[in-house]
Amino acid sequence: MRHNKTSGAPITGPQRRVRVWDLPTRLFHWLLVLLASIGVASAYLAPEWWMDLHIGAGYGVVLLIVFRLVWGIYGSEYSRIGNFSYSPAETFRHLHGLAMLRPAHYLGHNPTGALMVFALFLVLVGITLSGLLALGGEENQGPLAGITSFQIGDVAKDIHAYLVLGLGVMVFAHLLGVIAESVLHRENLPRSMISGFKSLPEGLAHPPAREAQLGAVALSIAVFGLSAAGILGLLGRMPPTGLQALPANENFQTECADCHQIFHPSLLPAPSWQGLMANLEDHFGEDASLDEETSKDIASYLRSYASEGWDTEAANRLRQVSANAPWQITASPYWVRKHDDILPGLFAREDIGSKSNCAACHADANSGHFDDQMINTMEKQK
């Protein structure tokens, strides 16, 4: 480890400016700020069909993490992980100095800052990983869709949200640290993360600084990129878990399409389909009764492909039906919750007609997927 410690005192008197943060490190820092902000804003402020922006920001963070790891090995002096790997004793000394308001001055990351860097790094890895699991499990999208169940995705989504809260707390602590260090050493740290320069008291030797090894950086990134592309390519070929091929059923497609579009069988559990099919003569105020053979055929088809056999978000959520109207998809608690901020007038609009006309707003309704990104642009106004 090379020391980048300079002195314990605020920097006063003559000093010179030395280059500490190279351009890639500064770009990494500010791009991370930008992408994390986009990630948070798109999750909490943007509508669901902007999901791709959120996913894009997440992939961007993954690329940044990979780059920073490589740059932490082969980058220039102060960006190297080895430059800011301190012993517990030195970290303790720095914390102690901080408590006495006389922390030692370091050119690169100080020991407390280094702790924060490592913690931030772990949390970011956790956030991107849990995000990918949530995407694969809940939405059946992304490279992990073929190996992640809905249940795992659901848990991952909670972890994802908690880690983001943790990240918020850490960013706050980081800002406090930057302010404290800037005040105690009379040095504007945010500016140094823009210009790259920090001050070194005149007369103090500038410790030997290693240059970036660009060849090694390029090679590592190429090797990593190729292996990642290979693994993702293999994973991407696996079909998403919990989807099955749905054969056509002629009776269902003709008899049940008379009055409304047909519903994907995964949108109700088997007992609901059974109840609905046993009571066709009083079907939401209509007589939809069929001859026994046709009715039996449709009933058995719907039971076979009911929500229990699917692991999509819609099937999992809609499995919990309304106690009062167990055969009505649009009465289930999840459906009501998801659509409660849509103006009632929109459902009545001529080209939509009713709540039950799923395909009017969900371009992928017939597949049973109900992806966030497939909510029809026309119907997005609420």
Burial of 342 (0-12, 13-18, 19+ CB in 10 A): middle
Which residue matches tokens 């308001």?
Answer: 101
Inter-residue contact 318 to 335 (CB < 8 Å): yes
Q: How far is CA 152 from CA 127, 203, 222, 317, in A?
A: 15, 59, 32, 14
User: Which is nearer to ligand HEC, 181 or 372 (by Cβ)?
Assistant: 372
Q: How far is CA 316 from CA 190, 334, 350, 382, in A?
A: 47, 10, 31, 25
Distance, CA of 214 to CA of 229 (rounded, Å): 22
Q: Smallest gap, in angstroms, from Cβ of residue 289 to ligand HEC?
A: 9
Q: Is 353 left (phi over 0), alpha (psi -120 to 50) or beta?
A: left
Q: Smallest gap, in angstroms, from Cβ of residue 372 to ligand HEC?
A: 5
User: Which is nearer to ligand HEC, 78 or 327 (by Cβ)?
Assistant: 327
Instruction: Copy the structure tokens of residue 280.
Output: 């066709």
User: Which is nearer to ligand HEC, 14 or 344 (by Cβ)?
Assistant: 344
Cα dihedral sign for 142, 146, 147, 149? positive
User: Which is nearer to ligand HEC, 82 or 333 (by Cβ)?
Assistant: 333
User: Which is nearer to ligand HEC, 130 or 266 (by Cβ)?
Assistant: 266
User: Which is nearer to ligand HEC, 50 or 59 (by Cβ)?
Assistant: 50
Q: Smallest gap, in angstroms, from Cβ of residue 139 to ligand HEC?
A: 7
Instruction: Copy the structure tokens of residue 252.
Output: 């269902």
User: Which is nearer to ligand HEC, 133 or 314 (by Cβ)?
Assistant: 314
Q: Smallest gap, in angstroms, from Cβ of residue 259 to ligand HEC?
A: 3
**Contacts to ligand HEC by CB under 6 A:** 47-48, 255-256, 258-260, 263, 267, 276, 280, 283-284, 286, 288, 298, 313-314, 327-330, 338-339, 342, 346-347, 352, 354-358, 360-362, 370, 372, 375, 379
Inter-residue contact 258 to 250 (CB < 8 Å): no
Q: How far is CA 145 from CA 109, 134, 243, 369, in A?
A: 39, 9, 10, 13
Q: Smallest gap, in angstroms, from Cβ of residue 40 to ligand HEC?
A: 17
Inter-residue contact 15 to 202 (CB < 8 Å): yes
Q: Smallest gap, in angstroms, from Cβ of residue 167 to ligand HEC?
A: 23
Inter-residue contact 91 to 103 (CB < 8 Å): no
Residues in the chain: 382
Distance, CA of 261 to CA of 74 (rounded, Å): 60
Cα dihedral sign for 361, 363, 365, 369? negative
Inter-residue contact 104 to 94 (CB < 8 Å): yes
User: Which is nearer to ligand HEC, 180 or 331 (by Cβ)?
Assistant: 331
Q: Smallest gap, in angstroms, from Cβ of residue 279 to ligand HEC?
A: 11
User: Which is nearer to ligand HEC, 114 or 133 (by Cβ)?
Assistant: 133
Q: Smallest gap, in angstroms, from Cβ of residue 314 to ligand HEC?
A: 4
Span between the terminal Cα atoms of the chain, in Å:
58
Q: Smallest gap, in angstroms, from Cβ of residue 62 to ligand HEC?
A: 22
Q: Smallest gap, in angstroms, from Cβ of residue 275 to ligand HEC?
A: 10
User: Which is nearer to ligand HEC, 210 or 339 (by Cβ)?
Assistant: 339
